[in-house]
């Protein structure tokens, strides 16, 4: 049987370079031409004759796999594995193509954009000037010498660390692994210590059973009243009800999310807060990152990752 590939990702499917590259290797490839995220039933009907799939934010579990008897390989476009049930993949003997670090610079630059924009009140200044014609300067904050917490110091967290280091920030790091530190301004510590000391906290852990509501009502009490939280990882790692209450009470605190527990975040009460900032899951949406993730996903159709390795780092 000739390999037949279905691509669920919209940005991959719309990219002429990636389409041409995939078709040069797998001429029988088909693409998501709808311009929107597919429902499970649509994914199944589109991929029914395929033995390989490139997926993005699609939920893959036994309910999908049982309806795709020809499927042998799933390759991940992007890095998050929270939508893929690895145990079900093993049970159905479906191999997984995945590589870490595909969009690290794109996400870490988005975090830096949030840090600078919110610290310098750029959103507020633009709104005041364009909507209300208010030409008034209010002193804001520099990033240099600030205390910044990074929760999760894998590919993206490590890249963010590189970008922040020239600014002479004191950086508190929390990770499940022991991180090698060669800078006196970098300190590995507990989450509570990180929250207590940081002016800015950025989340970069995968979403697993251990990281759901990692930031919650219990540990938010350790935070400074003017803290800035940034989540460009996965929705649900910061408990949305808890951060809403925190921001509601602490008007000088801020939070910026690129990701939400439910996407799109319809009727999410966070969106109504003046001290909450957001983007529609654009962390990996740069031209460079799309190409990199796409080429990695194409490689993943024939190069597979060990499930044992993923379980070791908390993926399930």
How would you list the strands of the sheet with 52-55, edge to edge? 30-31, 5-7, 52-55, 73-76, 95-97
Indicate if 10 belongs to the active site: no
Indicate if 234 belongs to the active site: yes
User: Pick the catalytic residue: 105, 186, 204, 281?
Assistant: 281
H/E segment holding residue 257: strand 254-257
176 class by beta-carbon count within 10 Å (0-12 exposed, 13-18 middle, 19+ buried) = middle
User: Pick the catalytic residue: 186, 204, 234, 240?
Assistant: 234
Distance separating alpha carbons of residues 77 and 13, to the nearest angstrom: 11
Indicate if 177 belongs to the active site: no
User: Pick the catalytic residue: 33, 217, 263, 274?
Assistant: 263
Q: List, in sequence order, every beta strand (DSSP E) within 144-239.
A: 147-151, 170-174, 186-188, 200-203, 228-231
Under 8 Å between Cβ of 94 and 116: no
**What is the set of active-site residues?**
234, 263, 281
């Amino acid at each position: 049987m000739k390999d037949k590939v279905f691509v669920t990702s919209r940005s991959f499917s719309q990219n002429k370079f990636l389409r041409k590259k995939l078709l040069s290797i797998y001429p029988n490839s088909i693409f998501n031409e709808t311009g929107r995220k597919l429902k499970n039933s649509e994914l199944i009907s589109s991929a029914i004759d395929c033995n390989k799939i490139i997926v993005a934010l699609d939920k893959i579990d036994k309910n999908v796999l049982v309806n795709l008897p020809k499927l042998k390989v799933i390759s991940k476009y992007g890095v998050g594995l929270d939508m893929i049930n690895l145990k079900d993949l093993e049970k159905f003997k479906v191999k997984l193509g995945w590589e870490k670090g595909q969009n690290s610079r794109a996400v870490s630059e988005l975090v830096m954009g949030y840090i600078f924009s919110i610290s310098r009140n750029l959103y507020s200044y633009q709104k005041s000037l364009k909507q209300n014609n208010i030409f008034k300067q209010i002193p804001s904050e520099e990033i240099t010498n600030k205390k910044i917490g990074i929760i999760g110091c894998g590919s993206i967290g490590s890249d963010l660390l590189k970008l922040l280091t020239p600014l002479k920030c004191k950086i508190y790091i929390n990770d499940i692994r022991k991180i090698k530190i060669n800078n006196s301004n970098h300190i590995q510590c507990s989450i509570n210590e990180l929250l207590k000391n940081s002016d800015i906290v950025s989340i970069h852990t995968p979403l697993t059973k251990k990281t759901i509501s990692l930031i919650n009502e219990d540990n938010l009490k350790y935070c400074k009243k003017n803290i800035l939280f940034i989540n460009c990882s996965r929705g649900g790692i910061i408990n949305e009800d808890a951060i809403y209450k925190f921001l509601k009470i602490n008007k000088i605190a801020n939070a910026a999310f690129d990701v939400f527990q439910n996407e799109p975040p319809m009727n999410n009460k966070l969106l109504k807060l003046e001290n909450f900032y957001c983007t529609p899951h654009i962390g990996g949406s740069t031209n460079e990152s799309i190409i990199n993730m796409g080429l990695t996903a194409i490689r993943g159709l024939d190069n597979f990752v060990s499930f044992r390795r993923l379980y070791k780092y908390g993926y399930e």
